[in-house]
Structure 1
Amino acid sequence: MTAAESGPSGSRPEVRSAAGWLRGSREAGVAVFRGIPFAEPPVGTLRFAAPRAIPAWSGVRDALAYGPPPPQGGHFGMAARSQHVGDGWLTANVWSPEPDPAAGLPVMVWIQGGAYVIGMSGLPEYDGGRLAREGGVVVVTFNYRVGIEGFAQIEGAPANRGLLDQVAALEWVRDNARAFGGDPDRVTVFGQSAGGGSIAALLAMSRAAGLFRRAVVQSMPGTFFSPELAADIAAACAAELGLRPTVADLSGVAPDRLSSAADAVGAAMDQRVRRWGLPAHRAIPFSPVVDGEVLTDTPWRALAGGACRGVELLVGHTRDEQRLFTAVSGLLGEVTDKQAADALRVFAPGPDGARRYRDAFPAASPDELYDLVHSDWLFRMPSLHLAEAQTAAGARAHVYELAWPAPGMGGALGACHGLDVPLVFGNLDRGQPAALIGGAPSPEAEALSARMRAAWVSFAGRGDPGWPAYDTERRLVQRFSSRTGVVPYPEESARLIWRRHTFPALPLIDRTGEPTT
């Protein structure tokens, strides 16, 4: 026997995972298992090491509470939202409508965002109960190392440890999906923001090959670092503590001290724009590193070269990605002509990029130009180019844009970054992103959420979200709004401006402003 229900009413479901028996809970008809370790705690001698598989245990292990979040500081004025403490950071959570090994349900594995510096799977917005119950899928979420622990370039440690954690979690899913009622041959990864960027990296990584059949990339950031840039930022973080960026120097430092050092560097990145370039303008201290071993190329080059012809891809973005960040910075409605001109000069592609934006959007206000170029550089064009790279290799990709304006906060944020998260999970009244929905969800919000959840579930189950695949002739995409429908790509003017940009790994720049060699 590999699965059983315990308790007088079946409220304590039990499953036999590869490492041992687990006892969960039943919530609104869904079996839920939280805080399942998929790798050993990366502390002590395993600090900054690649994840190591968890050893087997005897007896039945309770899986009732989320594991502790990985170490992280504050970002965008937010700190880690958790009451848990401990060092067992690498844990997974499972929601299953039918924890029977014979069920063969599609599996959807969520990778959360957080700019590669914050994030944890135990947030209420990532509760997979509604998606599992109404979609008939097994939902998995998990923690991975972020910030210095996961992405700093540290001498003596493998690069991209956060990505290696994700690979370990997907290997755990492969080995355990059936026990929870899932089909290990129908695994779909889906993620937003840094989670989407992580999935793009996984698509390019040979060690992730075969671990998922389909991928949903939501608003991926286009920042991938060169080893030189990543090492220089890590050296600055270590220098905050008077140390070198080596395993020998950093492995004995308390995680919260390292997070604080990274916060200090991130807060002062605008002072190093001549050395660190574009990431310094946006205060982005960590991103996946094209190190040549864990990640051998940028996702766009890897996909165009055919790295993922066998993976079906769904990718998209929101219409007004930048608007939330503009509001957080206090600039919403306050952008000056000079600030808009500076943004165009820094972020628009090519020597004539600023002129091309002004020609393409002649009636745009400074606020609109500022938001457009930031949205395009960081999220919209990287996402679109990922789909185009996949199609260039002869593989299939479906594209969407979320254009429904968020009703929360007076409607000023439009279809901003992060709005897709509550809509995809159906958690419209819980967690921080629910503030974008604004109070009690309207019938329109519920209907849009149902359409998006149905599309994601259909893609996970059959590879078809319900609209045609993207091609470079018709460029048809699904536009989610008050009137959802298939349209030619709505941001065509921006696409033309960026069509020749390649999104290379971001370099270290010396003090004269020239990239290093």
Structure 2
Amino acid sequence: METSTGALRGETIDGIARFLGVPYASPPFGEHRFRLPAPVEPWEGVRDATAFGPTAPQVPYAGALGELLPTVAIPGEGILNVNIWAPTDAAGAPLPVMVWMHGGSLKHGSNALPGYDGTTFARDGVVFVSVNYRLGTEGFSVLDGAPLNLGLHDQLAALRWVQREIAAFGGDPARVTVFGQSAGGATVAALAASPIANEVMQRAIVMSGPLEVKTPADAGRITALIARELGIAATRDAFAAVAPERLAAAQAKVIAGSSPLGGGPAFTIAIDGDLVPTSPADAFAAGASSNVPLLIGTTTEEYRLWLVPSGAVDRITRLHLAIGRRAAKISAAAVRRYRANRPGAKHGEVFGAILTDVLLRRSEYRVADARAAAGAPTWVYEFAWRSPVRGLGAAHAVELGFVFDGLAAPDSVALAGASAPQVLASAIHDAWVAFAASGEPGWPGWGAGRTVRIFDGIDDPAVPAPRLDELAELGR
């Protein structure tokens, strides 16, 4: 395989060609550390692309969360790499392309996880690309002398690589769907709502991705804590003088015990006036990228991933709920509505349901309403199948094995168990492929009827948006 920077040797298995660990930018270390991604240096000869490339420096999730969300650690500096899967028997027109941005709270994860294998997408006529990008301190610090959102700029560099190179793999650079889950969904939303969206994508899928971002001052709080932990200044030069492993260890110490629902120090995308001029929620609502079809959704019980395995759901009392709702400026009437809709629910379950909507669903529906009013093609889904594993239910990330139609992957088994319904995996995977191929996933778009496809593994119905009475009490 020939690319503009050199030849690649991949491998073909059962009619699917794969090329792993392919660099899309230079290693972001040495002179390139805490800098924008630099172009790849061309190589001579044929580069081996049969093994996954290095992964971003990180410390795995701890405790039960680490068992449910494992990571892969591959040493090396060439962390800015992509993996490509493509069918070898494709004939005729170039194929649609799907580019995957992994999640992990902007500090965990990689494209080498078994659950992110692109074979099933290639089997179904898609050229699939998965992206590694800088994480945590390396990718989302706020430092004097360094650009903001370096991890997001890495993703943009990868998408520009796709535009230049994907035709060689049989892909159509004019039919690129970018999709991601959790933090990966947040980065996809930021890119899809940005001024450069039309340069690098034609469609976007945002799975359980927050649509809000922070000011540099707020986003920089975790950087200041890490600097204090290390006894250094929050500058590019000072951080670049510290080994990546030491930065990752300091980062892990600072964020210990924090979570998306429970709060605490966290990495986030920052408003930068350029790539991210405002929050994706505000940008979409104002009409940004109205020509880019958007598929967006959540799981029904996002919160259970953080509150149930840790036991926190049982430790939250009525007092905690009262304090939390005041801090979040949520009315007592809203709490009563959520409680009435969940007879017998624990205080922690009510708390988690409210925060799920505050952090995700409220913004999602606001964006869908605004886009529909402007005629922008938008589809909404909700993943409702309940995993029997550790009481997760329809928790954050349970849907991943279904989207990838890879229920046997260890990542999926850890979250969904060994008997997850294949019929549901086929339904949701096929919808994602159809969206990439045609721009429509197979159910009515969001409009006056506010249609949501509920993936429950039974009927998978398309119905009017559920629980709107709760959002009405929250205030939209």
What TM-score bracket applies, with the shorter chain setting the length?
A: over 0.9
1:421 alignment partner, one of 389, 396, 400:
400
Show the counterpart of 1:474. 449
Deviations 1:257-310 (A, max 9, x none): 11111122212769xxxxxxxx79423410100122331100011112221011
CA distance in 1, matches of 2:442, 2:133: 32
8 A contact 1:343–1:373 mirrored in 2: no
Deviations 1:222-279 (A, max 9, x none): 4511111122321111111100110111101111111111122212769xxxxxxxx7
Deviations 1:326-349 (A, max 9, x none): 1232124443222332332333xx
Show the counterpart of 1:510. none
Deviations 1:36-69 (A, max 9, x none): 0000000011100000111222221110111111
Show the counterpart of 1:18. 4
1:120 alignment partner, one of 110, 117, 122:
110
TM-score, scaled to structure 1: 0.86
The CA deviation at 1:492 is: 1.2
Show the counterpart of 1:196. 185
Show the counterpart of 1:461. 437
1:437 partnered with 2:413: no
Task: Report the RMSD for the aligned CA atoms in angstroms.
Answer: 2.1
8 A contact 2:19–2:49 mirrored in 1: yes
1:357 alignment partner, one of 317, 335, 352:
335
- Secondary structure at the counterpart of residue 277 of structure 2: coil
8 A contact 1:418–1:433 mirrored in 2: no
**How has the CA–CA distance of structure 1 residues 269 and 369 changed in structure 2, closer, same or farther, with 3 Å as cutoff?**
closer
Letter in 2 for 1:384: Y
**Unaligned segments of structure 2, at least 5 residues:** none
Q: What percentage of aligned pairs have identical amino acids?
A: 40
The CA deviation at 1:83 is: 4.7
Alignment of 1:230-249 (within 5 A): 230-249=219-238
Letter in 1 for 2:417: G
Letter in 1 for 2:406: N
1:167 partnered with 2:146: no
Deviations 1:129-179 (A, max 9, x none): 12221x211110010011011111011110000100000000011111111
**How has the CA–CA distance of structure 1 residues 83 and 281 changed in structure 2, closer, same or farther, with 3 Å as cutoff?**
closer
Deviations 1:409-468 (A, max 9, x none): 3xx2211100111000011121323222212x35xx100000001100000000110001
**How has the CA–CA distance of structure 1 residues 68 and 372 changed in structure 2, closer, same or farther, with 3 Å as cutoff?**
same
- Secondary structure at the counterpart of residue 31 of structure 1: strand
1:375 partnered with 2:381: no
8 A contact 2:261–2:355 mirrored in 1: no
CA distance in 1, matches of 2:267, 2:360: 16
The CA deviation at 1:367 is: 3.1
The count of corresponding residues between Structure 1 and Structure 2 is 468
1:254 partnered with 2:232: no
1:89 partnered with 2:89: no
CA distance in 1, matches of 2:337, 2:84: 50
Show the counterpart of 2:461. 485
1:34 partnered with 2:20: yes
2:306 alignment partner, one of 325, 330, 337:
325
Letter in 2 for 1:353: S
8 A contact 1:51–1:165 mirrored in 2: yes
- Secondary structure at the counterpart of residue 230 of structure 2: coil
Letter in 1 for 2:454: R
The CA deviation at 1:100 is: 6.5
8 A contact 2:453–2:460 mirrored in 1: yes
CA distance in 2, matches of 1:158, 1:449: 40
**Unaligned segments of structure 1, at least 5 residues:** 1-14, 271-278, 501-517
